[in-house]
Amino acid sequence: MTRAASAAAILLIVVAATALFYVVVHQVSGLWLDVALRPEVRAALEKSLGDQKRLRSFDPEQSEAYRLRFEETRKLINRIDVIRLNRAAMLRRFDLTLVAVFALVMAIGGTTVWHRSRRAEEQRRREYVARFAAWQEAARRHAHEIKTPLTAARLEVDRLVSLTHASAPMTDVQRAAESVFEELDRLARFTREFSSFAAVAAPVLRSEELNHLVAEFCTTFANAWPELVLRFTKSAPSMAMVDRDMLRQVLANLCTNSAKAGAKNVTFAVSGAAIDVTDDGAGIPESIRPRIFDPYITTRKIGEGMGLGLAISRKILLDHGGDLTLVDTSASGTTFRLALHT
């Protein structure tokens, strides 16, 4: 159970206990008043007054004690009369007091749950950023280790082609060279991806209108994925502090993933300081959903990608003071939410 869920469970228990306390106390208080105001009680007290008068005449030596007891009984009868006259008002005040206590408990409990939830969310974000920094360092080292022998290998192949130009059939040499260059280009692409992941820049934030930004993205990138139709319906104006280029990179990463998941349509919806990106692709396998934002998590075949796009995209949103979350995914499509700060 998560910390937020534990806090919510505690709040539910406190609310239930407070409600039970309210019912019990309300019932007991009503019962007490009913007993105190029964006519038989007042009649018994009035009879006691008469008895005390008679006792005073029979026992003059205890006259003062009977007089004091008589006064106390009369005061008690007067209090009962006051309670009878003000019974409704007293119950109303009592109910208001209990309601106030209940509301106070609810407010304290709700505030506690909210703060615990916020702390848990902030802790989760800090842990992800710390892991991301470790992943970046690993990527930086991998890129450095690959880049040097990659460059040397390419130079050696160029030299080999030059040396064999005159002594071997060019067709065979070119075929071999092209095959080697193809593999070297693949290594170079992976190296660039490592380097890009290792050097996610800090955003330069400016106030942007999200509807305009998303509409511009759809127009600019309309033909970037031939198999995709980008759809956007303008909503109420919404301003947010964003780095325009980095946000476009996140949207492009999501569209690339949608295209590779077999989607035909990607729909953008702006609501407040959030952008929902929904496709109609095959969805994300359940086995990798908990780790979808970790680097190197991908369903693609070896050589088709390194699974860095979502990790980079989430880091960009965290650097914006927001977050990238998976809202929903199934066999009929997937929705991601880009949450931003206004």
Residues 6+ apart with CB under 8 A from 222: 230
115-124: pLDDT as tens digits: 777 777 788 8
Say if residue 137 is exposed, middle or buried (CB neighbours under 10 Å; 0-12, 13-18, 19+): exposed
Nearest by Cα to 36 from 98, 69, 81: 81
Alpha-carbon gap, residue 67 to 305, rounded angstroms: 102
In the predicted structure, residue 1 carries a pLDDT above the cut 50: no
Most confident of 9-13, 24-28, 35-39, 295-299: 295-299
Q: What is the pLDDT of residues 199-225, one digit of tens each?
A: 677 899 999 999 999 999 999 999 999
**pLDDT for 237-258, tens place per residue?**
999 999 999 999 999 999 999 9
Residue in 204, 303, 288 with CA at minimum distance from that of residue 246: 204
Instruction: Provide the pLDDT for residue 163.
Output: 63
Q: How far apart are CA 318 and CA 316, in angstroms?
A: 5
pLDDT the model gives residue 212: 96
Whether 291 shows a pLDDT value over 70: the answer reads yes
Asked if residue 17 has pLDDT above 80, the reply is no
Whether the per-residue pLDDT at 35 is higher than 60: the answer is no
Res 107 pLDDT > 90: no
Average pLDDT over residues 146-174: 66
Q: Looking at residue 281, what is its pLDDT? A: 94
Query: What is the pLDDT at residue 37?
Result: 57
pLDDT of 189 strictly over 80: no
The pLDDT of residue 58: 72
**Most confident option among 137-151, 236-250, 306-320:** 236-250
Highest mean pLDDT, choosing among 25-29, 128-132, 141-145, 153-157? 128-132
pTM across the whole model: 0.54
| CA dist., res. 77 & res. 41, Å (int) | 9
Cβ neighbors of 27 (< 8 A, separation 6 or more) are none
**How far does Cα 61 stand from its chain's mean position?**
82
Segment (H or E) for 155: helix 63-164
- Most confident of the following: 40-49, 169-178, 227-236: 227-236
